[in-house]
Amino acid sequence: MSFTQTDLDNINQAIVSGVLRVNINGADITYRSLDDLLRVKNQITTFLNQDVKNGAVFQKLGFSKGLC
């Protein structure tokens, strides 16, 4: 399963708001407890950090020929 920063943001918002229903990957999921939300948050964070370690983060670079 692939996660995005938006998924992590949705989990964090649910934790702060005290709700157990979250939208992840376009699906509405209802968790049983705050512990479940925290567990998923850790899984998504690990997944996103792994992508960064594997070089999956891209940056747009600009180049100039040095001409004015």
Residue 32 CB partners (closer than 8 Å, separation 6+): 20
Structural domain span for residue 43: 5-48
Instruction: Give the pLDDT band of residue 61 (cuts 50, 70, 90).
Output: very low
The answer to whether position 35 is within a domain reads yes
Total domains, the chain: 1
The answer to whether position 68 is within a domain reads no
The answer to whether position 19 is within a domain reads yes
Instruction: Give the pLDDT band of residue 44 (cuts 50, 70, 90).
Output: very high
The answer to whether position 20 is within a domain reads yes
**Of residues 29 and 55, which shows the higher confidence score?**
29
Query: CB of 24 within 8 A of CB of 10?
Result: yes
The answer to whether position 64 is within a domain reads no
The answer to whether position 55 is within a domain reads no
Amino acid at 34: L
Q: Taking all residues of the chain, what is their mean pLDDT, rounded to a whole number?
A: 82
pTM of the predicted structure, to 2 decimals: 0.71
